[in-house]
Structure 1
C-alpha cells in the first residue's frame, strides 16, 4: 500500500452496530455508524469507494476474528490491522485518566493509533483453506477435550458421594465408554445388584469385556452402599446420567474431529516437517501447522515465534533490580501447543530428554523445564519450517558435538 493512497479507518465494533472514524489522504475526516449486517457492510464499503476511488482501505479493529472480520475479508481493497485491546486501553487511559468511554471516541483513538503506528503493525493474513481448516479442527477438538475433562471431574466427584463402587472398575479414564454405558444402564448400586450376577456378566460380555466380566460382576454383587438415602440416590443418579450422556456425545464428536484431522493432515505441504517433530501424533502435528502457518510461516524470526507464543520470558529492570518473569500476554492455545509438544518430545528425543533432566537437576520446576525446552524446540522448528526440511535427530546431535555443546556429554550419559 502506498501512503498517499491509504484511507485509514478505525472501527469500534459491537454486536449490532459499528462506529468508524476515517482519515482520508487529503486530510478530511469522516465519522459514522453502520449496522452489523452483510448488506449494510457492503453498502458502507461501496460508499467509501465512491468517496475515494482506487484507494486502499486500512481498517484497524480490536479483533482478529468474528462476524465483522469475516465480512471485511471478502473485499480485496480492505486490509485489516488487528489491534491488541490492551494497547488501546493504555492509550485510552492516557487521554482520560478518570476512565470514561464512548464508541465514537474509541473509533477515533483506533484510527489515530493506526496512523501513528502503521509501520509497526502487521496486517491480518489469511492462510490457505487447508491450514485454516486444520486450525479450526484443532481448536474445536481442544474445546471439546477441555469440556470433557471438566465434566469427567464433575462425574468423578459425584460418584464418590453416592456410588463409589464404580471406582473399582479401574477405568483408565473417567469418560471410558464402558463406564458411561454402565452408569446409564445401572445408575445406582441397587439397580445393578437387582440385575443379578449372571445378567451383569452377560452385560459386560456385550461390551467386549470378557476378561473382566466375572470380576466386575462379583465386585458389584458384593459391594456395600455408601448411603441408602433415597433422596440422595434419586438426585445423584439423575445428575450422573445427565453428565454421562453429555460425555458420550463429547466422545463421539472428539473422535469425529480426530478422524477429520487425520484425513486432512497428510495433504498439507508442511506435513513432513510437522510429522518429524519427535513424539507428536496427528493432533499435535495439526496444531503445529496451525501455529506456524503456510509456506515459510507467519513469523519473521524464531524470536518473534517465541514471544508470540508466550514461551520467551520477559526481563524487567528498574534501577538495580532485574528479574525475569513468564510472559502471559499471548494466545493461550498457542502457548499450550508448544508446551505440550516439548513434553511429548522428552520420550522420543535423546537431546530433549537430556536437556529436560538437566533443567530439573538445576532445581527448575517441571513446567519451567518444559517451557525452556519448548524455547529451544521453537528455534529448531522455525529453521525447519523456513527451509521445508524435516527435523533429523542424528543430524542435530552431531551439530551439538561439533559445536562442543555441554549438552552432548549429557546425552552420552543417558545413552
Structure 2
C-alpha cells in the first residue's frame, strides 16, 4: 500500500553520527541515531522502507551539500529539503528562549518545521553531470585563486622586509612564474650576486625573459642589501622559498582548472547564451552556467534569482520607519559571480556602461552601481535561460 503523504524526517547531522526524528501521516513518531558511513545510511533506509513499504521519504536537513547529502541523493524514494539554519535558529529560540539545545531535540524541530512548511520549501534539485562538474570546477578554481592572492600578498610583504630589489622586477603579477623561479633559485641577494652578472643574464634567458635579462641582471648586481643580519636573512629566505613553491603549485593547478573549464564549456546546452554575454570570459561563463542551472525550474521568477543571489536589496518597514539595505543572507559565491559579471560587461557593452555611469552620476558608489547593473542583467539572463 502506497501512502498518499510522504514520511517526514528531520535529521540533525554531524560529522560521525546523525540524529533523526520521523513523523508518520497518522501522527506516530520515531527517533533514532545512525552513523556516518555508507553501510549505516543504507541500513537505516532499509529499516524505514520495511516499516513503511512503498512510502516516499521527505528529508529535511540543515545543508545542501556534504557526505550525507551525497549518500541520500542516490535513492529514488528520498526527497531532500535543505533548510536554512537561520530559520531553524529562530524556531529553536521560540521553544527555548535561553538557547539550550540537543541533537535529538533539534532533529524533532527540523521535522516539525518540514511538516509546517513543506509546501513552501523547495526540494534539492540535482543538475546534469556537466553542469555540476562546471560548478565544482569553477568554485574550486576560485578557492585556489583566493588562496594564491593571500599567499602573493604575504610574499610581497616578506620581500620588502629583506630582499626589496625583487620588487624592482616590476612583474605584472606578484605570482609571476619567472619571479617565483628566481626567488627559489636565489633566495637572498648575496646568493644572486655571487652567481655573477653573466650567469644571471643566462638564467633570465632560460626563463624566457630575454628582453629584460640585461636590465634585471644589472639591477641585481647594483643592488644594496637592506639588512645583513644573518638570522633575518636565513629565516626570511626559508619562508620566502616555501611560499614561492606553494604559489608555483597553485599556478599549475589553476591552469589545469581553466583548461578543464574551457574544454567542457562548449558542450553545455546553454553555452551560446553564456558566451554571448559582453566582456565575460570562459571562467565567468562557467560560473554563470553553474548559477543559472540547466534551464527552467531552479528559479521561478527573475526576482527569486535576484533574492537568492543577494543582488536584490531588502526592505524593512515598521510603522513610519522604513529603510532599504543590502541582502547579506545569500550564497556569497553566487553574489560575487553576478557582481563581477556586471563589472566586466561595462568594458564591452555600451548600454551597460551608460547605465553604470548614470548610477555613479547619481552619487552611487562603484559597488552599488555594479550591483544595480547586475540586477538588470539578471532579468535579462532569466528571460534568455
Indicate whether the TM-score tops 0.5. Answer: yes
Which residue matches 1:391? none
State how far apart, in whole Å, the 2-side matches of 1:60 and 1:314 are: 26
CA deviation profile, 1:304-336 (whole Å, cap 9, x unmatched): 000000000011112222111000000000000
1:243-282 matches, cutoff 5 A: 243-282=243-282
Which residue matches 1:344? 344
Which residue matches 2:142? 142
Which residue matches 1:68? 68
1:95-244 matches, cutoff 5 A: 95-244=95-244
State how far apart, in whole Å, the 1-side matches of 2:70 and 2:259 are: 27
Q: Give aligned pairs, total.
A: 384
The question of whether the paired residues in 1 share the 8 Å contact of 2:3 and 2:54 is answered with no
Aligned-pair CA distance for 1:210: 0.8
Q: What secondary structure does 2:63 align onto?
A: coil
Aligned-pair CA distance for 1:295: 2.2
Which residue matches 1:360? 360
1:9-20 matches, cutoff 5 A: 9-20=9-20
Which residue matches 2:46? 46
CA deviation profile, 1:128-155 (whole Å, cap 9, x unmatched): 0000000000001000000000000000
State how far apart, in whole Å, the 2-side matches of 1:327 and 1:225 are: 51
Which residue matches 1:316? 316
State how far apart, in whole Å, the 2-side matches of 1:187 and 1:354 are: 49
The question of whether the paired residues in 1 share the 8 Å contact of 2:11 and 2:60 is answered with yes
Aligned-pair CA distance for 1:185: 0.5
* TM-score, normalising length: structure 1: 0.92
C-alpha RMSD over aligned residues: 0.9
Q: What secondary structure does 1:5 align onto?
A: coil
Distance 1:380 1:3, change over 3 A: farther
State how far apart, in whole Å, the 2-side matches of 1:67 and 1:132 are: 16
Aligned-pair CA distance for 1:4: 3.0
1:77-92 matches, cutoff 5 A: 77-92=77-92
Gapped runs of 5+ residues in structure 1?
Answer: 386-415
Q: What secondary structure does 1:119 align onto?
A: coil
Which residue matches 1:398? none
Aligned-pair CA distance for 1:90: 0.5
Which residue matches 2:334? 334
1:267-306 matches, cutoff 5 A: 267-296=267-296, 298-306=298-306
State how far apart, in whole Å, the 1-side matches of 2:212 and 2:37 are: 59
CA deviation profile, 1:263-299 (whole Å, cap 9, x unmatched): 0000000000011111000000000000000022511
Aligned-pair CA distance for 1:3: 7.9
Q: What secondary structure does 2:18 align onto?
A: strand
The question of whether the paired residues in 1 share the 8 Å contact of 2:137 and 2:257 is answered with yes
Q: What secondary structure does 1:295 align onto?
A: coil
* Larger mean Cα displacement after TM superposition, 310-319 or 342-351: 310-319
Which residue matches 1:25? 25
State how far apart, in whole Å, the 1-side matches of 2:95 and 2:4 are: 28
CA deviation profile, 1:6-37 (whole Å, cap 9, x unmatched): 10000001111111101112221111111111
* TM-score, normalising length: structure 2: 0.99
State how far apart, in whole Å, the 2-side matches of 1:277 and 1:341 are: 9
Q: What secondary structure does 1:33 align onto?
A: strand
State how far apart, in whole Å, the 2-side matches of 1:37 and 1:192 are: 55
CA deviation profile, 1:63-87 (whole Å, cap 9, x unmatched): 0000000010011000000000000
State how far apart, in whole Å, the 2-side matches of 1:284 and 1:187 are: 36
Gapped runs of 5+ residues in structure 2?
Answer: none
State how far apart, in whole Å, the 2-side matches of 1:243 and 1:185 are: 13
State how far apart, in whole Å, the 1-side matches of 2:250 and 2:44 are: 42
State how far apart, in whole Å, the 1-side matches of 2:74 and 2:241 are: 46
CA deviation profile, 1:139-179 (whole Å, cap 9, x unmatched): 01000000000000000000010011011100010000000
